[in-house]
Amino acid sequence: MMIKEPMRVYLDNNSTTPCDPRVVDTMVPYFYQKPGNSASRNHPFGWEAEEGVDYAREQIAALLKVDSKEIIFTSGATESDNLAIKGVFEMYKSKGNHIITVTTEHKAVLDTCDKLTEVGAEITYLKVAEDGLIDLAELEAAIKSTTILVSVMWANNETGVIQPMKEIGDICEKFGVLFMSDATQAVGKMPTYPKEIGVHLMAFTSHKMYGPKGVGALYVSRKSPRVKVTAQMDGGGHERGMRSGTLNVPGIVGFGKAAEIARLEMNADAERLKKLRDRLEHELTSRLEECYINGNVDHRMPHVTNISFKHVEGEGLMMTFNQNIAVSSGSACTSASLEPSYVLVALGLGDDLAHSSIRFSLGRFTTDEEVDFVVDKLVAGVNHMRDLSPIWEMYKEGVDLSNVQWSEH
């Protein structure tokens, strides 16, 4: 008798994506036949490695419609965010010390900005509306003579909400302020052309676009304006002096291939995934009461949905299916702080709804059958957890939960 493997479905592609096999195939020779250091200038091993890196740089530049010299390789998006923000702050501190960013940014941006306040930076955090979008008038009003940088993420990791990038770019242009974007979730999934938008620095990473982990990049505009960042690591002066350290050649080669595949296939992927995502959303919201989709549904990534299932705690819900299905929750029950997702709280969700949220992020390898499987498991899980939930029972009895005297702990 055949033993059937239990179905395992990965809908956590915003955390990381599996490598595309075509990417891995391209990388393999750089572990064996071509082991050189791309900075070794005096033998063919070095030349081959350098060729691989140069080609990858071209592939990535083509995806972004930029010059290959504008791509600085790093270890990942966190390093790119750090390099961009700290590097700009140090390079342009004679011009000012004010940075504007948004409350729903990734921690790699928020904590970097926070760190800079210790060395004299002044940070303005823009709020977002209920749909996750910033208010352009508020951005414009926040810019002052000392503002050197505006940092706004292209698409949010938790909700998929896409900010009005072109409008932000126009405002930055008008005031002559640098515009940096953490585009980690957007690059390779949707068109991200910094020159058309007016983005001067852009952080992104390979492992969110079906490439390997441990390699990322920072786009730094070289022309109108020519932007420079102060290096954050001292050493051999690689990457035009902005990022020292031997290049991760196999990783970069894979990143390049991932970018090429994305350039050719991302529109088709997006179209297919949008249909699947919409089906997932439709099935869940029609088969379950009291579900709320978080974030603006018209301005968001096609493969992401973030749904709160009222009166069900997210981590507990995940436990009903996490042997088979990978998703993530805005409930931070596992973290020491016990605070739910700050991104969802910034959207004005009550903490209770933030604790009840699940993020589904589909990817290139997600199938129709998997989505159907997830819908069934989710519906069963939510119903089960609601049967266990005292507040669902109270809600069903018509108790106004906001009038209950809770013993907060």
Partner 1 sequence: MAYSEKVLEHFQHPKNVGTLDKSKSTVGTGLVGAPECGDVMRLQIEVDPSTQTIIDAKFKTFGCGSAIASSSLATEWLKGKTIEQALTIDNMDIVEELALPPVKIHCSVLAEDAIKGAIADYQSKNGIAVTEMVTAN
Taking the complex as a whole, how short is the minimal distance between the CB of residue 325 and partner 1, in angstroms? 15
| Residue 277 near partner 1 by CB under 8 A | no
What angle do helix axes 77-91 and 107-117 make, rounded to 10 degrees?
A: 30
| Residue 129 near partner 1 by CB under 8 A | no
Taking the complex as a whole, how short is the minimal distance between the CB of residue 350 and partner 1, in angstroms? 7
407 Cβ neighbours under 8 A, 6+ residues apart: none
| Residue 312 near partner 1 by CB under 8 A | yes
SS3 sequence, 170-188? HHHHHHCCEEEEECCCCEC
Structure tokens that stand for 13 in this block = 């592609």
Nearest alpha carbon to residue 253 among 408, 83, 35: 35
Name the catalytic one among 19, 172, 291, 333: 333
Contact with partner 1 (CB under 8 A) among 5, 234, 387, 400: 387
Taking the complex as a whole, how short is the minimal distance between the CB of residue 351 and partner 1, in angstroms? 4
Q: How far apart are CA 119 and CA 246, in angstroms?
A: 29
| Residue 345 burial class via C-beta count within 10 angstroms: exposed 0-12, middle 13-18, buried 19 and up | middle
Sort strands 201-205 and 216-220 into parallel, antiparallel or unpaired. antiparallel
Query: What SS3 state is found at 350?
Result: coil
Nearer to partner 1, 118 or 408 (CB): 408
Contact with partner 1 (CB under 8 A) among 313, 321, 366, 381: 313
Contact with partner 1 (CB under 8 A) among 16, 315, 326, 379: 315
> Do 231 and 241 touch, CB atoms closer than 8 A?
yes
Nearer to partner 1, 286 or 334 (CB): 334
Cα dihedral 329→331→334→336 (10° resolution): 140
| Residue 399 near partner 1 by CB under 8 A | no
- Span of 55-63, 138-146, 265-273, 381-389 interacting with partner 1 by CB under 8 A: 381-389
* Residue list 337-376, contact with partner 1 (CB under 8 A): 338, 340, 350-352, 355
| Residue 42 near partner 1 by CB under 8 A | no
Q: How many residues does the chain have?
A: 409
Residue 333 known to be catalytic: yes
b/e map of 367-396 (b: 16 or more CB within 10 Å)? eeebbebbbebbeebbbebbeebebbeebe
Nearer to partner 1, 94 or 334 (CB): 334
| Residue 135 near partner 1 by CB under 8 A | no
Contact with partner 1 (CB under 8 A) among 94, 335, 398, 403: 335
- Span of 7-15, 120-128, 235-243, 390-398 interacting with partner 1 by CB under 8 A: 390-398
Q: How far apart are CA 140 and CA 172, in angstroms?
A: 8
- Span of 21-29, 157-165, 193-201, 326-334 interacting with partner 1 by CB under 8 A: 326-334
Nearer to partner 1, 240 or 396 (CB): 396
| Residue 170 burial class via C-beta count within 10 angstroms: exposed 0-12, middle 13-18, buried 19 and up | middle
Nearer to partner 1, 138 or 351 (CB): 351
> Do 153 and 80 touch, CB atoms closer than 8 A?
no
DSSP conformation class of 6 = P
Nearer to partner 1, 173 or 339 (CB): 339
| Residue 333 near partner 1 by CB under 8 A | yes
| Residue 408 near partner 1 by CB under 8 A | yes
Residues binding partner 1 (CB under 8 A)? 311-313, 315-316, 319, 331-336, 338, 340, 350-352, 355, 385, 387-393, 401, 404, 406-409
Catalytic residues: 333
